[in-house]
Amino acid sequence: MNFVLSILFSGFAVVLVVLIPWVGVWAFDLRFFFGVIVPYLAMATFFIGIVVRVIDWGRSPVPFRIPTTAGQEWSFPWIKRNPIDNPKGTGGVIVRMIFEVLLFRSLFRNTSLEYRNADGGLRVNYEWEKWLWLAALVFHWSFLVIFLRHFRFFLEPVPAFVTLLENLDGFLQMGVLPLNGLGIPDVYITDLLLLAAVTYLFLRRLYLPQMRYISLPADYFPLFLILALGLSGVLMRYFIRVDITAVKELAIGLFKFSPKVPEGIGVIFYIHLFIISVLIAYFPFSKLMHFAGVFLSPTRNLSNNNRYVRHVNPWNYPVATHTYEEYEDEFREHMIEVGLPVEKGIEPEAKAEEAEKE
């Protein structure tokens, strides 16, 4: 398996994901199937899948408390400790997790190896590298905002926070006081950011030799899928307009569990809907579960308090040890000879034997 095969395989899979609803709706008019059944199945898979997976992780205990400490521990009052990167209790852990989950703290540490062995001899540097962190942050946050913006389709009346988000997000179009808009019509900045970030994350895999080497089809597939999702969304919003009222009717119907499929929604919508359905159905079985996993990671979500708060291993079992008695039995004579204290003196018979030997 090399990167060409990986990319072809995942690319092909995503093309299929696009073609299936296209053919299905356009040629066979399977609107109810793609508009109702598939989304329901996907949502069920998503929720049940995640719950099952998380419970499965949770079933395995955490036998040892093994945080990765990234700063000074708590010791003396006169030594400045790092309460976040080396937390001493739950408060610190919560802050650490917030930094990790919302701001990708660990990724922010990233450096890039610069290894040169030229005329001046060997030079090894660990250089500033925040692009991965930035792209990841932009990607995840844009995704979240776009997701929240979609609530305008599911909820009637549209909640205030959605409108607010839309306004902020659309500042390129309308401007946010005191700035004037750029006059670009009708563009959400998160749409652009998401597509840019996904593209960067893909190119990075392709361009950096080490990334190319470690990437699996399972890495390209979700990227392509999200790219396709974004592109179909952008197409629908900016180019091939669909009947928003009809879409909203369908969406609200789905959420109220009284699904109806109104006439007149373009194929592009069904493609978009199918892609998101595949994405969420794929979610629980894939690396995308990192979103839930990060909360459970024992190197991050535990305090470094082992020496003052005992951690119990639920499956701790007794083990065979070499006891002091066994040790002394083997070395007693030598110990006595050099004046090391012993528990038992040498037995008279043993002494007699000893004497005989001599």
Partner 1 sequence: MADTPKPDELSKVDHTPPLFKGWMDTPVEIKPGIYCYGSKPKDLKYVDFPNPRDWSPVDDDWKLPENWEEIVHEGFKDRLDRFRSVKLFMDICVRCGACADKCHFFIGSGDPKNMPVLRAELIRSVYRKKFTTGGKLLGRFAGARELDEDVLKEWWYYLYQCTECRRCSLFCPYGIDTAEITIFGRELTNLLGLNTDWVAAPVANCYRTGNHLGIQPHAYKDMLEFFTDEIEDITGLRMDPDYNRKGAEILFITPSGDVFADPGTFTCMGYLMLFYYLKSLGLDITWSTYASEGGNFGFFTSHEMAKRLNAKMYAEAERLGVKWILGGECGHMWRVINQYMDTFNGPPDFLEEPVSPITGTKFENAKATKMTHIIEFTADLIRNNKLKLEPSRNDNLKVTFHDSCNPARGMGILEEPRYVIKNVCNNFYEMPPSTIREQTFCCGGGAGLNAGEDMELRMRGGLPRANAVKYVHEKYGVNMLACICAIDRAVFPDLMQYWVPEVEVTGVHEMVANALVFDGEKERTTNLRGEPLPGMEDEEDV
Site residues for partner 1, 122-151, by CB under 8 A, read 122, 124, 126, 132, 136
Binding residue (CB under 8 A) for partner 1 from 217, 230, 233, 266: 217
Neighbour-count burial for 108-130, b at 16+ CB within 10 Å, e otherwise: eeeeeeeeeeeeeeeeeeeeeee
- Map the footprint of partner 1 across residues 31-50, applying CB under 8 A: none
Is there binding between residue 296 and partner 1 (CB under 8 A)?
Answer: yes
User: Which residues lie closer than 8 Å to 9 by C-beta, 6 or more apart?
Assistant: 217
- Map the footprint of partner 1 across residues 304-333, applying CB under 8 A: 304, 306-313, 315-316, 319-324, 327-328, 330-331
Distance CA 119, CA 61 (A): 54
Is there binding between residue 289 and partner 1 (CB under 8 A)?
Answer: yes
Measured from the CB atom, the residue of 114 and 347 that comes closer to partner 1 is 114
Length of the chain in terms of residues written: 358
Work out whether the CA dihedral 212, 218, 223, 225 comes out positive or negative.
Answer: positive
- Check: CB of residue 259 under 8 Å from CB of residue 250: yes
Is there binding between residue 216 and partner 1 (CB under 8 A)?
Answer: yes
- Map the footprint of partner 1 across residues 81-110, applying CB under 8 A: 81-82, 85-86, 100, 104, 106-107, 109-110
Q: How far is the CB of 356 from partner 1 (least distance, A)?
A: 23
3-state class of 72 per DSSP? coil
- Map the footprint of partner 1 across residues 269-288, applying CB under 8 A: 285-287
Is there binding between residue 255 and partner 1 (CB under 8 A)?
Answer: no
**Angle formed by the axes of helices 267-282 and 217-234, to 10°?**
150
Which amino acid is it at 94?
I
Is there binding between residue 52 and partner 1 (CB under 8 A)?
Answer: no
- Tokens at 169, concatenated: 């997000």
Is there binding between residue 208 and partner 1 (CB under 8 A)?
Answer: yes
Is there binding between residue 12 and partner 1 (CB under 8 A)?
Answer: no
Helix and strand element counts for the chain (H, E): 17, 2
Is there binding between residue 303 and partner 1 (CB under 8 A)?
Answer: no
